[in-house]
Amino acid sequence: MNKLQRLKLTQTLTVLDKYISPASLAAFGVALIVLIELFIPPYIGMADNGDYYRILYSNGLYFNVPDYTSQTLGYFVKNFGIFQHYNENSALLWSSQTLFVRLALMISEWLGYDQQFDIRIQASLYGVLYVGAVYLLVKAATWRASSRAGYGLAAAAIFIFGDIGYVAYFNSFYSESVVLIMLLLLFSSCMLLYQRQYNDYILLFLFGASALILTTSKQQNAPIGLIVAIIAILFVFLRRGRVFRMFAGLQAAVLLLTAIGTYALIPEQFVNINKYHAMTRGVLMTADNPEEALDFFGIDKQFAVLTGAIYYDQFSPMPVESEEMQVQFLDKYGFPSIARYYLTHPGAASKIFETAAHNAFSNRTKLGNYEKAAGKPFGARTAAFSGYSYLKELAAPKTSGFVVLWMIVIAGLYAPSFYKAVKARSLRRALRLPVVLMMMASGLCAMGVAVIGAGDADIAKHEFLFAVAFDLVTFWTIADLVCRRLWGPHALKNSGEEDEEGSLAQQGGQQ
């Protein structure tokens, strides 16, 4: 870059500094993409894969498009009917996603649309929350950054988190929308606590609320709730104040109980569906000899004909909901025994986790993005604002070895500053590594739960949380490197703050 180019860049950054911050620029950029893709024709969304009924009927909505079934998987549908009288459908499963669907329905009725629900009302609700989450993330990522680094990170955030692989979920009834928003808020609140940019009580509340909603958004997130609860315990010792410690302790206990309750409340029907796929699309497909694999679980070898079968297949050797299937097949095993099988059969474990790793870096599913009225082919996907999705799929080595190497490298980069903080007995300065490990462990857990709990059935969507966690941690690490914070100064702005917070040494002395 010559002197003239550097001068022009400096002048541009000076103008930007005067009118808009990097965080605001990132939020504005993502908001613009959401507006263009979801609210301007041709509208972009995601086709139903057959799961919508789980959330629709119990919330007072129903399919009112005559040829809806023929559009499943291939076309996005934006309009749904609203029950006008008694709704006899009870909830098939409890999910925090219901809160957002019900709120969107209330807004729809308040606007006068009480007979037909336009899913774009829900998308607008998600969009506002998402833009706010992106703002907080970039606010934290650009802390103590130069103008050049700050605006560069803002552009990177728009490129990554404005990708259609994320944004398209808002025009759908998939819980991944909730997972995406809450994971961003969870991570951002932790890092803002580390930096002490906002009030600790507000950030602690944001952390707890986003963690609760994330854990209860879908049943497979129950183990992730346990991981987050462990980090929540650290916050008890972040400050010396009794009120803060009681609040943090209560929050940690609630998160722990919520994680346990979320798992316990999984309906038997969905447990059976996942168990079926865990065996037919997991164990049997990875086994060199499916009959021997069935013998490990004490299952009749004739069930080997189910290798590769899907629960929803129109024709099956034995009806999936029959008593014989329940007694002779599904009751013979559970997720712990499947995990034990993989532990004792490393070859099968290697195959299933390589399958998981191969799909873990995809932000997009193969579901169609366009309405049928747009005149696009069945299953057509938009290429607009999908640069990051394609780059990630092409560039990321899709192997379990790369996942392990990525985790080791990231942990190694943050280990020196963590060691210094522990040596200085300062918990706040030590927060970064535990938070990063929380995100990586959550992503790895999502990957493990996906393959052990459901094999390779709809695996790209089941591993969505890993994809988001990977992007967040990688983006944050690059931000710390660019802003020279990786091994540099840490969160406490001045020594006077030690009096209010207390170091670990002071806390230990008081106890």
Tens digit of each residue's pLDDT (9 = 90 or more) over 32-81: 999 999 999 999 999 998 888 888 988 889 999 889 989 999 999 999 99
Q: Is the pLDDT of residue 247 over 90?
A: yes
Sign of the torsion angle spanned by Cα atoms 220, 222, 226, 232: positive
Q: Is the pLDDT of residue 393 over 70?
A: yes
- The residue that leads in pLDDT, 488 or 151, is 151
Q: Side chain identity at 503, as an amino acid letter?
A: S
| Mean pLDDT in residue range 268-291 | 85
Task: Report the alpha-carbon distance of residue 333 to residue 303 in Å, rounded.
Answer: 13
pLDDT, position 497: 41
The 10s digit of each residue's pLDDT in 14-38 is 666 667 899 999 999 999 999 999 9
Burial 68-90 (b: 16+ CB within 10 A, else e): eeebbebbbbbebebeeeeeeee
pLDDT, position 222: 87
Cis-peptide, bond into residue 42, ω within 30° of zero: yes
Band of residue 494 on the pLDDT scale cut at 50, 70, 90: very low
Token output for 325: 């299937």
Task: Report the alpha-carbon distance of residue 458 to residue 103 in Å, rounded.
Answer: 28
pLDDT, position 13: 63
Identify the burial level of 230 via C-beta atoms within 10 angstroms of its C-beta, where 0-12 means exposed, 13-18 middle and 19 or more buried.
Answer: middle
How many helices (DSSP H) and strands (DSSP E) are in the chain? 25, 3
Task: Report the alpha-carbon distance of residue 105 to residue 92 in Å, rounded.
Answer: 19
Query: Taking a C-beta distance cutoff of 8 angstroms, is the pair 165, 464 a contact?
Result: no
Q: Is the pLDDT of residue 287 over 70?
A: yes
Q: Side chain identity at 212, as an amino acid letter?
A: L
pTM (2 d.p.): 0.89
Task: Report the alpha-carbon distance of residue 208 to residue 255 in Å, rounded.
Answer: 8
| Mean pLDDT in residue range 364-372 | 91
Band of residue 456 on the pLDDT scale cut at 50, 70, 90: low
Q: Is the pLDDT of residue 94 over 80?
A: no
- The residue that leads in pLDDT, 478 or 399, is 478
Q: Is the pLDDT of residue 474 over 90?
A: yes
Burial 39-66 (b: 16+ CB within 10 A, else e): eeeebbbbbbbeebebbbbbbbbbbeee
- The residue that leads in pLDDT, 364 or 190, is 190
pLDDT, position 463: 85
